[in-house]
Structure 1
Amino acid sequence: MNTVVDVLGQANLNAPALPIPLVGGEVRAGFPSPADDYIESELNLTELLIPHPSSTFMVRAKGHSMERHGIYDSDLLIVDRSLEPQVGDIVVMAVDGELTCKQLRMIGKRHYLCSGNEHFPPIPLTGCDCHCWGVVTDNIHSLRRRR
């Protein structure tokens, strides 16, 4: 299945900041160290993830074509419209009226949208009606299924 997106909405400029404790030290995958159990500071996820709130919106990814890039079905993507897309960026693009999420690449001297799955051929950006909606800056990926 090709990865398409559902637009969820723009960042809420009036939402209160919700600082979250940032634990100092590192999180190791081995044996836990109780010495690292202290709060270093507070972290505001809005400031960290959304530097341009008036031009930022969120979309939900649908499909499996971007899994090699770490984008899975139902992930929440943060998209910034103020950024100029660069080769290598993951973008949300309207191609012939359908929104899709792909990596912007150059093959030869032409721009293409490429998936993270070899079963999906690159989409040439010449000869089609395309418009970039923005650059994906972050991915919120849940590791636990919601019930």
Structure 2
Amino acid sequence: MRLHTVAELPQEGFSTVRVPLMGQALCAGFPSAADDFLEGALELPRWLVPNPPATFLWRIAGDSMRDAGIFDGDLACVDPSLKPAHGSVVVAAVDGEMSIKRMVVEGNTARLAFDNADLPVYALQELAEVDVWGVVRFTVRWHVARTRQGR
């Protein structure tokens, strides 16, 4: 994959890819159930999405990742082909419930954590079944006020 600097980005000629948008918000807090359906898709520049077949978008609900710069209403671009490592923000199913957390690796032990200093430590049960779905590649945030209808 070739990385571009802003100065190198051509004014035209970039292709786009359609990235599926999951139909239910991803819990940025305590886990909540996820639906197995898509809400639609967004077209993004191909250079933002190196692995389109595996990539999906998920809307964030909650503020447990605010210290990572991820806020309620943001869209997280998740790439399951990336290998999670210490410090990665990941989408994980914890006992079948979807959420977004920071992966913390200490020695041979990996755990999931909130990224909000105002919240208590995320207590993951010792026998919990955890399945990391992917790594958050980037987020999309609107910087203008939006109404409930999204306008």
Query: Same fold by TM-score, threshold 0.5 exceeded?
Result: yes
Partner of 2:13: none
State how 1:112-127 maps to structure 2 within 5 Å. 112-118=111-117, 119-124=119-124, 126-127=126-127
- Conserved? CA contact 2:85–2:105, under 8 Å: no
Aligned partner of 2:146 in structure 1 is: 146
Q: Equivalents in 2 of 1:93, 1:140: separation in Å?
A: 19
Identity %: 32
| Cα deviation, residue 71, structure 1 | 0.3
1:30-109 equivalences in 2 (<5 Å): 45-107=44-106, 109=108
Aligned residues: 117
TM-score, structure 2 as length reference: 0.66
Deviations 1:67-109 (A, max 9, x none): 0000000100000011111111100000011101001002454
Report the secondary structure of 1:145's partner residue: coil
Structure number with larger C-alpha Rg: 1
Instruction: Name the aligned partner's letter for residue 128 of structure 1.
Output: A
Unaligned segments of structure 1, at least 5 residues: 18-44
TM-score (norm 1): 0.68
Task: Extract unaligned runs of 5+ from structure 2.
Answer: 1-27
- 2:137 equivalent in structure 1: 137
Q: Distance in 2 between matches of 1:125 and 1:86?
A: 21
Provide closer, same or farther for how the CA distance between residues 111 and 101 of structure 1 changes in structure 2, counting only shifts above 3 A. same
Query: In the superposition, relative to structure 1, how do residues 54 and 66 fare at CA in structure 2: closer, same or farther (>3 Å)?
Result: same
